A and B are shown apart, each in its own frame.
Chain A
Amino acid sequence: MPNLELIREQYNSARALCTKRIVVCAGTGCIANGSLKVFDALKNAVALSGLEITVSLKSDKPEEHKHHDVYMVGSGCQGFCQVGPLVTIEPNGIMYGHVKPEDAEDIVARSVVKDEVIERLLYHNPEDGTPYKGVKEIPFYTKQMRTGLKDCGNVDPLNISEYIAHEGYFAARDAFTKYSPEELCTFYKDSGLRGRGGGGFSTGMKWNFARIEDNPKKYVICNGDEGDPGAFMDRSILEGNPHSVIEGMLIAARAIGADEGYVYMRMEYPLAIQRIRKAIVNAEELGILGDDVFGTGSSFHISVMEGAGAFVCGEETALLASIEGKRGMPNPKPPFPAQKGLFGKPTIINNVETLALVPIVMRQGIEKFRSVGSAKSPGTKTFALTGHVANTGLIEVPFGTTLRKIVFEIGGGVLDKDGKINNDAFKAVQIGGPSGGCLTSEHLDLPIDYDSLGAVGAMVGSGGMVVMNDSTCMVETARYFMGFTQHESCGKCVPCREGTRQMLEMLEDICAGEGTEETLELLQEVGETVKLASLCGLGKTAPNPVLSTLRYFRDEYEAHVKAKYCPTKQCKALTPIYIDPQLCRGCTLCTRVCPVGAISGEVKQTHVIDPMICIKCGACIAACKFKAIS
């Protein structure tokens, strides 16, 4: 049986012998920005300066513990991808952004050997240029409440001892040695923990459905098929703290009596796959996973399954079909997977973020967990904040936080079409990906939780939050999402297969200027039908982006179909031809070439085009000698 206390103690004593710790973010975003080169450059610079360095803290043999000046770690995603590569120096708490390999020498000389802060590498507020020293000061971090993400980007994801030193696996051990499965289900039900993958169903209740099934074989599945475009919290957790997910799966396995688990991963996340595989091997070596979990004689094995690129596999029953080696098509519920799931056995499927929160809830206790968030949606939620916002990245806030705080305070404000911060440019937030809806300025003060979002036609979904400024065409956005869901519709049930296709064609018509008011009526009707009649979650939620934009941006749709005009000039076919009054000399040539007589104006006076008559043939553009028409 692994002695967690001893591992923790040995790790801490080895760690105490290191003077400084340099954390280089090695999440997908920072790696793309060159963080691995920065890591090597820093390592070389430390070695050149004559300091003792270690990159893998060996803590299992106390007799070999020795002093190191620098302990270097590549961490998982720290959420602030835009500013990457990120380098943090502890215990000083300095965080540097946009670090280049050339900066390594300077960092080592001034911030590692000495305790100076290099101002040019700090994060500066884009609005007024104020420099911030580190996570304890940067508003992007201070206004968040990082619970599930707390250790993500802090612990070394490849070092199981470090996870244990951060109280990891103690909750799983308690689950196997102190609590009965029934107690665990009741505990999680009372905690109010709800599934973070979209539906928001009570985790404890779900487990209990599987627990009461009398079957010697049961499965726990971690759903890491994060297909929502614009969401990347699952990737970040699996990259940054894979052991927290394994611990969550262990507790779930104990609660329902499962001996086998799968982590279903998107193949688009190679780094996350690599890290979860390594974490599983390390946990097996310690006897945390395997045939004798924590010496209790219970067995639990986890395999990793890579998806092959199908959005619908995020749906539970489709995911099961995919693991069974079939086309990933959903099946009607009931029977629910908790009764008849993988290979016909009782199965629970939890999302990555939910599983990562499971050990945290036990560590915190019900009272503390419920003290954050709203009454019906306790705890925190991770959102992927992207789009036209100054600070993009992964954030975690308590349920009940308002959109205003997320976008304007944590996000640092809205970017206008010139890329400048201008909060008046705010137009909408698309939340929950292709299954979610749009929120507008009237929702800025709405406390965000599962129930409040449902009431306004959106959903928490996986937590993708895309901010859009006033240069975004909402009709085109709806068309984009419909194009996505139509492409991903598996084709099993008619409402989704045909309905999404018809909706997409109608939206394409509207964007091409061929829509009429009847198109809008029909679009609404088909959308409501698809929502009602589809078999699985994909189809039931596919019309949400269309229905919510129809609801909140009706005038924009009407401009497209009535005035044949796209207010944001995003739809090329509906962008009026315009004569620049500064350049027009009033030569009247254009009025003569216009086949429909849409251009009017006196000689030597500025001419204007009547958009209602113009057929956009372009004859005037070709004729104008002064390039005044575009």
Chain B
Amino acid sequence: MSTQYSAAHSFNKVMEILDRYDRSENKIIPILQAVQEEYRYLPQEVLTFIATSLGVSPARLYGVATFYSHFSLEPKGKHIIKMCDGTACHVRGSSKVIDAIRDRLKLSAKKITTDDMMYTFETVSCLGACGLAPVLVVDDEIHGQITPEQALALIDKIDAEEKENA
């Protein structure tokens, strides 16, 4: 892993977050959310650090971090694509879009991040935008009534932008 999270100044950030939540054991979930916001995932060293600071066992923290689907112990890609696979999206053909995106990015239900760390693709259970089913979220922007072709075009667009900036 190339991310330099172990640098002392990074832990300062964690300390700030811990202070913001009064170093309270009850606030483990908001603390982890804030830490994940900072690092885009939960690095193992940081988890151990938080556990020690809160005076709880690393296992307790690990238990919480692995229970909730929002938390990721693996680094995520630069661009996060989420496909809604809620009931409304499912009956309106989300599976076809999911297959197309996985094909294109060479990902699967188990492997969700591309090797070049450019994309993470995950399915979510419901975004509550069922009137627009099926729904795709690319970097927090919602796209409704999406087809496999449109989804691939969105990825093409990001690819092109990345190439330009490279």
A residues near B (Cβ < 8 Å) are 28-29, 31-33, 80-82, 84, 226-232, 235-236, 266-270, 305-311, 322-329, 343, 384, 386-388, 392-394, 430, 433-434, 464, 466, 468, 472, 477, 480-481, 484, 488, 490
- Tell me the complex Cα distance, A325–B143, Å: 33
Question: Counting CB contacts under 8 A, is B55 at the interface?
Answer: no
Tell me, rounded to whole Å, the shortest Cβ–Cβ distance linking B163 to chain A: 27
Task: Known A-B contacts: A28-B127, A434-B87, A468-B91. Give 14 more (CB < 8 A).
Answer: A28-B129, A31-B142, A32-B132, A229-B125, A232-B131, A268-B126, A308-B29, A308-B68, A326-B28, A327-B64, A386-B87, A472-B91, A480-B87, A490-B67
- Contact partners of A31 in chain B: CB under 8 A: 142
Those of B82-96 within 8 Å (CB) of chain A: 85-92
Contact-residue size bin, chain B (C-beta under 8 Å from the other chain): 35 or more
Closest 8 CB pairs of A and B: A81-B131, A229-B86, A308-B68, A386-B88, A232-B128, A230-B87, A32-B142, A229-B126
- Contact partners of B87 in chain A: CB under 8 A: 229-230, 386-387, 430, 433-434, 464, 466, 480-481
Asked, given contacts A32-B143, A268-B126, A325-B28, whether A308 binds B131 with beta carbons under 8 Å apart, the answer is: no
- Tell me the complex Cα distance, A340–B143, Å: 44
Name the residue of chain A whose CB is nearest to the CB of B32. Answer: A308
Name the residue of chain B whose CB is nearest to the CB of A234. Answer: B128
- Contact partners of B110 in chain A: CB under 8 A: none
Q: Offer 25 A-B interface pairs, CB within 8 angstroms, sorted by A.
A: A29-B144, A32-B129, A32-B143, A229-B87, A229-B126, A230-B88, A230-B126, A230-B130, A231-B128, A232-B129, A236-B128, A268-B126, A305-B30, A307-B68, A307-B70, A309-B70, A323-B26, A325-B27, A384-B130, A386-B88, A386-B130, A392-B130, A466-B88, A468-B91, A480-B90
Tell me, rounded to whole Å, the shortest Cβ–Cβ distance linking B20 to chain A: 14
Interface contact A81-B67, CB-CB below 8 Å: no
Name the residue of chain B whose CB is nearest to the CB of A230. Answer: B87
Against A, the Cβ 8 Å flags (1 = close, 0 = not) of B122-142 are 001111111111010000101
- Contact partners of B29 in chain A: CB under 8 A: 305-308, 322, 325
Tell me, rounded to whole Å, the shortest Cβ–Cβ distance linking A496 to chain B: 15
Question: Counting CB contacts under 8 A, is B11 at the interface?
Answer: no
Interface contact B132-A308, CB-CB below 8 Å: no
Tell me, rounded to whole Å, the shortest Cβ–Cβ distance linking B159 to chain A: 23
- Tell me the complex Cα distance, A384–B28, Å: 33
Tell me, rounded to whole Å, the shortest Cβ–Cβ distance linking A504 to chain B: 14
Interface contact A393-B131, CB-CB below 8 Å: yes
Tell me, rounded to whole Å, the shortest Cβ–Cβ distance linking A284 to chain B: 20
Question: Counting CB contacts under 8 A, is B69 at the interface?
Answer: yes
Question: Counting CB contacts under 8 A, is B41 at the interface?
Answer: no
Against A, the Cβ 8 Å flags (1 = close, 0 = not) of B80-114 are 00000111111110000000000000000000000
- Tell me the complex Cα distance, A564–B69, Å: 36
Tell me, rounded to whole Å, the shortest Cβ–Cβ distance linking A526 to chain B: 23
Interface contact A28-B128, CB-CB below 8 Å: yes
Name the residue of chain A whose CB is nearest to the CB of B64. Answer: A327
B residues near A (Cβ < 8 Å) are 24-30, 32-33, 63-64, 67-71, 85-92, 124-133, 135, 140, 142-144
- Contact partners of A228 in chain B: CB under 8 A: 126
- Contact partners of B25 in chain A: CB under 8 A: 325
Tell me, rounded to whole Å, the shortest Cβ–Cβ distance linking A349 to chain B: 17
Interface contact B128-A392, CB-CB below 8 Å: no
Interface contact B133-A268, CB-CB below 8 Å: no
Residue of B68, B91, B125, B131 with highest tally of chain A CB at under 10 A: B131
Interface contact A268-B127, CB-CB below 8 Å: yes
Name the residue of chain B whose CB is nearest to the CB of A233. Answer: B128
Interface contact B126-A33, CB-CB below 8 Å: no
Interface contact A226-B128, CB-CB below 8 Å: yes
Tell me, rounded to whole Å, the shortest Cβ–Cβ distance linking A345 to chain B: 13
Interface contact B126-A388, CB-CB below 8 Å: no
Interface contact B70-A308, CB-CB below 8 Å: yes
- Tell me the complex Cα distance, A1–B47, Å: 46
Name the residue of chain B whose CB is nearest to the CB of A484. Answer: B125
Name the residue of chain A whose CB is nearest to the CB of B56. Answer: A325
Interface contact B64-A326, CB-CB below 8 Å: yes
Asked, given contacts A32-B143, A325-B28, A327-B64, whether A269 binds B131 with beta carbons under 8 Å apart, the answer is: no
- Tell me the complex Cα distance, A308–B37, Å: 12
Asked, given contacts A229-B86, A325-B29, whether A392 binds B133 with beta carbons under 8 Å apart, the answer is: yes
Tell me, rounded to whole Å, the shortest Cβ–Cβ distance linking B152 to chain A: 19
- Tell me the complex Cα distance, A236–B69, Å: 23
- Contact partners of B28 in chain A: CB under 8 A: 325-326
Name the residue of chain B whose CB is nearest to the CB of A232. Answer: B128
Tell me, rounded to whole Å, the shortest Cβ–Cβ distance linking B140 to chain A: 8
Tell me, rounded to whole Å, the shortest Cβ–Cβ distance linking B57 to chain A: 13
Name the residue of chain B whose CB is nearest to the CB of A311. Answer: B125
- Contact partners of A309 in chain B: CB under 8 A: 68-71
- Contact partners of A29 in chain B: CB under 8 A: 129, 131-132, 144
Name the residue of chain A whose CB is nearest to the CB of B61. Answer: A325
Interface contact B26-A325, CB-CB below 8 Å: yes
Name the residue of chain A whose CB is nearest to the CB of B90. Answer: A480
- Contact partners of A384 in chain B: CB under 8 A: 88, 130
Name the residue of chain A whose CB is nearest to the CB of B130. Answer: A386
- Tell me the complex Cα distance, A247–B133, Å: 32
Name the residue of chain B whose CB is nearest to the CB of A343. Answer: B26
Name the residue of chain B whose CB is nearest to the CB of A328. Answer: B67
Asked, given contacts A227-B126, A386-B133, whether A267 binds B88 with beta carbons under 8 Å apart, the answer is: no
- Contact partners of A268 in chain B: CB under 8 A: 124, 126-128
- Tell me the complex Cα distance, A305–B28, Å: 12
